[in-house]
Structure 1
Amino acid sequence: MTQQGEEDDMVYEVHEIVVQKLGHVPILKGDFHYLPKHVQKFVAFYAQKCTPRAIYICDGSHEEAEEITHKLIERGTLTKLKKYENCYICRTDPADVARVEARTWIATDDKYETVPHVRQGVKGILGQWKETNEMKKEVDELFSGCMAGRTMYVIPFSMGPVGGPLSKIGVQLTDSNYVLLCMRIMTRVSHDIWSVLGNNEFVKCLHTMGCPRPVQRKVINHWPCNPEKIIITHFPNERLICSFGSGYGGNSLLGKKCFALRIASVIARDEGWLAEHMLIMGLTNTKTGKETFIAAAFPSACGKTNLAMIKPTIPGYEIRVVGKYFIETLFTYNKHMGITSWLGKRWKRDSPTPAAHPNSRFCAPASQCPIIHPKWEDAEGVPISAIIFGGRRPTGVPLVFETFSWDHGVMVGACVKSESTAAAEFKGKKIMHDPMAMRPFMGYNFGKYLQHWLDMDQPGRKLPKIFHVNWFRVDENGKFLWPGFGDNIRVLDWIIRRCEGDKSIAVESPIGYLPKKGSINLDGLGEINWDELFSLPKHYWEDDTRESRRFLEDQVGCDVPQIIWDHLKSQEQKIQAMK
């Protein structure tokens, strides 16, 4: 019998006990019998393991949210913001404020199902692996009794409109009612999910703050956590996620990075689609009424949010966002009064500590976004015409180029990187590789992931065109060559025209199709150094291509599809032939 089979038998036995003796773990809300049988087994198994004092089956209703909000206010976890309607601030334990990649794992039987064959002596950065049984033993020890004295919340949620043909369902168990409030905003939590789910597969999500009562660690800011023992682990073959010790968003809202990217990328591989870390936006030509949908993938601090919320500086386009999460926190500063910092202390400009933590964020319903697209909840989705990769590249990389083909675009995506300069003089740089903007979120071997992208190119399919942008190129004095922000609409306009088949606005180069001089609208921008903005310094590109090859050899090794090597070789030859 497989281990999974043994677990199923154990779950069944526990289920029988819970059903017959509901007093063993009282149900504070909801009807346990209404849950599909395989969900009952999941809940019952972990109720026995985590030993909560009670179970609360969530329905996602407004009344439920009001009840939980009031409890958190009474406890001191939430504080109402007087100047804003229905807004609250939550201050965490300062030790629990970030996603922890070093403690994030993927568990499979075969190591190379999860991670690529890295070069000997090189530390891999494309995921961390542990053997399934070893990880299950670790999880079992951590989670035994982890919810003692607390309530286990059962949260049914849908990634996508409930019942939609593209949607996926998850059930999260957690001892944090703060997590419930956030999951209502980040996903669709609804009682209707039980009837939609039926006997179908769901992603099993287990989360605990790791602070059973009586607590052994001092609770700071009414924020229970166990930062010394944080672990986030994924069992993709069982569609199971287990998260211990943290209440921080990406660690505790398991529909987010864990499900929507790591587990979903595996589901996508198995079912023949793509689950990616991208924004989606719609651009409507106000003269023709034609709308084009674009997806974009950038590493952190490279302009995803700015692009999603772009305010065009030229007429002719209406922008609406289909999907993007926002992680900014805004403060209004009064020089006489100062502000209250994220630590709850008075803060003034001369304070030695920052007012906000770098990961401070807000969680608000997408429906409240002023430019949300009417189709953001369309169960059929929207057709993507272009995929845009990009990074922060101070030198060498042009403002925009189009890849030669789909597989060439996969190569470009695999080589996405950002450069942070070592000094204002730009004498040095630090390169951060973030292939496909998915580096922290890979659910399986990155080489196999690249092959899956390549396999999407099938006869009869119309695939999006792939582009690369760089808003951050500077001149020799460190001044940006491109204004960015709302003026990026000028680049998007060129991309849309290329998607519509305009061949007259591009010229071929060693790295892809560049805009033909004058084909981007520069009206009102003043002096723009077109030649420098689109130049391809030979030595830079020789070094860059060599560095990309080294990265793939070190981090992906024999798992790199041959066609990726072929495109890199072709690019090297074209660059060497440059004058």
Structure 2
Amino acid sequence: MLWLTLTSLNITPSLVGRALGSVRSASAVSGAIQSALGHHKALAEYVEHYAGLCNPDALHVCDGSEGEYTTFMETMVEDGSMFKLNEAKRPNSYLARSDPRDVARSEESTFISCVNEEDAGPTNNWRDPVEMKATMANLYKDCMVGRTMFVVPFSMGPIGGPISHIGVQLTDSMHVAASMRLMTRMGKAPLEALGTDGEFVKCMHSVGYPLADGKADVAWPCDPDNKYITHYPEENLAESYGSGYGGNSLLGKKAFALRLASAMGKREGWLAEHMLILGVTNPEGKKKYVAAAFPSACGKTNFAMLEPTMPGWKVECVGDDIAWMKFGPDGKLYAINPENGFFGVAPGTSMGTNPNAMRSLDRDCIYTNVAMTADGDVWWEGMTEETPEGMTNWLGEPHNPASNTPAAHPNSRFTVPIANCPVLDPNFEALEGVPIDAIMFGGRRPTTIPLVHEAFSWNHGVLMGASVASEKTAAATGDDIGEIRHDPFAMLPFCGYNMGDYFQHWIDMGKTEGAKLPSMYLVNWFRQDPETGKFIWPGFGENSRVLKWIFERTDGVTDNAAKTPIGYVPTPDALDTDGLAGITNDELTELLRVDPDAWQREINQSDEYLTSTFGPKLPAELKNEIESLKKSF
């Protein structure tokens, strides 16, 4: 571990940043930093720039070792910012409690800063990059006084792979540095992979809580009134200030892996998507890979780790959240999960909904804003049927089970290495990724959308993705429950450039010479009985029956589908219902029914949304697909 204190360089802590203006001091600091960073000039200049601006007391270059992680966790337990859980019940696991004002992703404070406002598009908050950099520089000035700046080299994807990229995050949060070790391939190896001139994405973060003039530290430092998460896609740079929570501070997550990477993919001819990746193997041992995009509250993580209910079928998880995809030399679309851990919502996760996720959380986990039981374990709503007595809630107060106040925050989280997953796919570390045979889209829709249907073509599938919409839920929004929210490709908060251009990029990817395009599907686990309002499909592990039908379709089976105006729908006997209890023939018919009147309304509504939102940026190919659908009824 390298701790670079400026006192060791004969520079007093108060001059950490300002000393960079001194020829003698600047030379000493620059030489030490360059040596620590493998004599990578651009990387050293990046670190020096922000060190000079933020004025930390010390620099620490993370090596990603187990010893370093242990030191981080012991330090945070000692200073009260982390709680050690019962070692017998939850080995090597910890609990953090955030400031109540810093508990979620801050979309209203998230910006795309590019030269032309049109390039950010109508779905992003735009700021001029010159103005934004001035704003951020003002916030960053002296923001790390009294703190250590952690230099966190990390690889998104297997180190050295053709789809992978390296980033370097600067942060004054030990919690963030520790979490990045769980979520990415962090430390010495990616730093060495950069060599002396390798390209990297810049990720700058501060909690915005300097310790000047004797100011005491707090368990969860933040500046909740001045949150900014801004992205400069033309510079491969993300800057974040004021929040220590989740994707606001773990910049490898949404900031790099989606907002910056989506723009990188457009420039370089690949895709960065908000998608899970799974491998499915049939009883004969044949294996295929599927990528799937679902908005929040649609069972994405559950599907990524599902346990099939059909004998002989097996599902293995490559990733539950993000997929980077690029065509390989053989024309197939290959995908990697750029992450190395799970950062999941705890409430609702249980042995009933996602047993493999629960098994992943047995050890080596950082929990945030969940409840603590009397015996030092964790708990959240939905974890068990009974609520334990004597708990401490996410605010650190005694929990009253009779109250309407949840013990765990609705957005409480777990951060855990992906190696803990008992169904981790053996090709997770494959440098070239895994070949994608099918791409699925889905949403929470009580009516209209059948259980599953297949697109006629790539462009038709792009329209499926562009038209994804989902019913709002209380957990997701708290307001407007039942309202349908459009979320194209489940990327609405995460596309780093104009989404009209994003649709065009998908269409253009389908024109790649020699490409062997995956089939595309739209699924809906949430169709309701029109009379009772209850979900017709049981979901969870039973979703493997839909996966089996898709497997067969991609395997060349043609007699298991009926052509309808919206695509290919399973014939009544095509879905394997052996052992499926509680579904009548009438209910199965309802699940697969295509209602012409409802679909005409659906198409018109999608047309209105896409046209009014993206205007002239809506690709002509999608307009043609919409018109073709309208004429089919």
Q: If the length of structure 1 is used for normalisation, what is the TM-score?
A: 0.90
Amino acid at match of 2:464: V
Amino acid at match of 2:432: E
Cα deviation, 1:60-83, whole Å, max 9, x if unaligned, reads 111111111111011101111113
Matched, 1:328 2:345: yes
Q: What is the match of residue 4 of structure 1?
A: none
Return the match for 2:295 from 264, 279, 299: 299
CA separation in 1, counterparts of 2:545 and 2:99? 44
CA separation in 2, counterparts of 1:531 and 1:519? 12
Matches within 5 A, 1:439-518: 439-457=492-510, 458-476=512-530, 477-518=532-573
The alpha-carbon deviation at position 229 of structure 1 amounts to 0.1
Matched, 1:397 2:401: no
CA separation in 1, counterparts of 2:272 and 2:259? 9
CA separation in 2, counterparts of 1:66 and 1:444? 39
The answer for unaligned runs of 5 or more in structure 1 is 1-9, 116-123
Question: Is the 2:525–2:537 contact (alpha carbons within 8 Å) kept by the matching residues of 1?
Answer: yes
Matched, 1:373 2:379: no
Matches within 5 A, 1:178-257: 178-198=175-195, 199-214=197-212, 222-257=219-254
Matches within 5 A, 1:61-460: 61-82=65-86, 83-115=89-121, 124=122, 126-198=123-195, 199-214=197-212, 222-287=219-284, 289-324=285-320, 325-329=342-346, 330-331=379-380, 337-420=389-472, 429-457=482-510, 458-460=512-514
Question: Is the 1:268–1:275 contact (alpha carbons within 8 Å) kept by the matching residues of 2?
Answer: yes
CA separation in 2, counterparts of 1:232 and 1:66? 29
CA separation in 1, counterparts of 2:498 and 2:49? 30
Amino acid at match of 1:209: V
CA separation in 2, counterparts of 1:200 and 1:467? 39
Cα deviation, 1:152-183, whole Å, max 9, x if unaligned, reads 00000000112222210000000001101000
Cα deviation, 1:291-350, whole Å, max 9, x if unaligned, reads 110001000000101101211111121111011235133446766733221111221321
Question: Is the 1:25–1:53 contact (alpha carbons within 8 Å) kept by the matching residues of 2?
Answer: no
CA separation in 2, counterparts of 1:318 and 1:146? 50
Q: Which moved more, 1:512-521 or 1:327-336?
A: 327-336
1:163–1:247 CA distance, 2 compared to 1 (3 A):
same
Question: Is the 1:158–1:170 contact (alpha carbons within 8 Å) kept by the matching residues of 2?
Answer: yes
Question: Is the 1:18–1:25 contact (alpha carbons within 8 Å) kept by the matching residues of 2?
Answer: no
Cα deviation, 1:184-211, whole Å, max 9, x if unaligned, reads 0110112122331131221001000001
Matches within 5 A, 1:20-35: 20-22=27-29, 31-32=35-36, 34-35=38-39
The alpha-carbon deviation at position 19 of structure 1 amounts to 5.4
1:552–1:215 CA distance, 2 compared to 1 (3 A):
farther
Amino acid at match of 2:513: P
The alpha-carbon deviation at position 428 of structure 1 amounts to 9.1
Matched, 1:60 2:73: no
Q: What is the match of residue 538 of structure 1?
A: 596
SS in 1 for 2:69: helix
The answer for unaligned runs of 5 or more in structure 2 is 1-16, 321-341, 347-378, 475-479
SS in 2 for 1:350: coil
1:14–1:506 CA distance, 2 compared to 1 (3 A):
farther
The alpha-carbon deviation at position 35 of structure 1 amounts to 4.1
CA separation in 2, counterparts of 1:66 and 1:84? 16
Cα deviation, 1:199-247, whole Å, max 9, x if unaligned, reads 1221001000001113899865x10000100000001111110000000
The alpha-carbon deviation at position 146 of structure 1 amounts to 1.0
**Percent of residue pairs bearing the same amino acid type:** 47
1:58–1:35 CA distance, 2 compared to 1 (3 A):
farther
Question: Is the 2:154–2:191 contact (alpha carbons within 8 Å) kept by the matching residues of 1?
Answer: no
The alpha-carbon deviation at position 18 of structure 1 amounts to 5.6
The alpha-carbon deviation at position 379 of structure 1 amounts to 1.0
Question: Is the 1:36–1:194 contact (alpha carbons within 8 Å) kept by the matching residues of 2?
Answer: no
Q: What is the match of residue 119 of structure 1?
A: none
Question: Is the 2:183–2:343 contact (alpha carbons within 8 Å) kept by the matching residues of 1?
Answer: no
Amino acid at match of 1:187: T
CA separation in 2, counterparts of 1:508 and 1:217? 69
CA separation in 1, counterparts of 2:518 and 2:60? 45
The alignment of Structure 1 onto Structure 2 pairs a total of residues equal to 547
Cα deviation, 1:447-490, whole Å, max 9, x if unaligned, reads 11111101112231001110000000011210211111111111
CA separation in 2, counterparts of 1:243 and 1:166? 25
CA separation in 2, counterparts of 1:416 and 1:525? 28
Amino acid at match of 2:207: M
Matches within 5 A, 1:540-555: 540-555=598-613
Amino acid at match of 1:323: G
SS in 1 for 2:410: coil
Amino acid at match of 1:516: T
SS in 2 for 1:156: strand
Cα deviation, 1:25-82, whole Å, max 9, x if unaligned, reads 997xx94362411100000011111111111111111111111111101110111111
Question: Is the 1:25–1:52 contact (alpha carbons within 8 Å) kept by the matching residues of 2?
Answer: no
Q: Which moved more, 1:335-344 or 1:53-62?
A: 335-344
CA separation in 2, counterparts of 1:137 and 1:533? 54
CA separation in 2, counterparts of 1:421 and 1:246? 25
Q: Which moved more, 1:158-167 or 1:377-386?
A: 158-167
The alpha-carbon deviation at position 113 of structure 1 amounts to 1.2
Cα deviation, 1:265-288, whole Å, max 9, x if unaligned, reads 11111111100010000011132x
1:391–1:335 CA distance, 2 compared to 1 (3 A):
closer
Q: Which moved more, 1:486-495 or 1:371-380?
A: 371-380
CA separation in 1, counterparts of 2:579 and 2:447? 25
CA separation in 2, counterparts of 1:446 and 1:141? 31
Question: Is the 1:156–1:193 contact (alpha carbons within 8 Å) kept by the matching residues of 2?
Answer: yes
Question: Is the 2:452–2:522 contact (alpha carbons within 8 Å) kept by the matching residues of 1?
Answer: yes
Q: What is the match of residue 3 of structure 1?
A: none
Question: Is the 1:386–1:465 contact (alpha carbons within 8 Å) kept by the matching residues of 2?
Answer: yes
Return the match for 1:525 from 580, 594, 604: 580
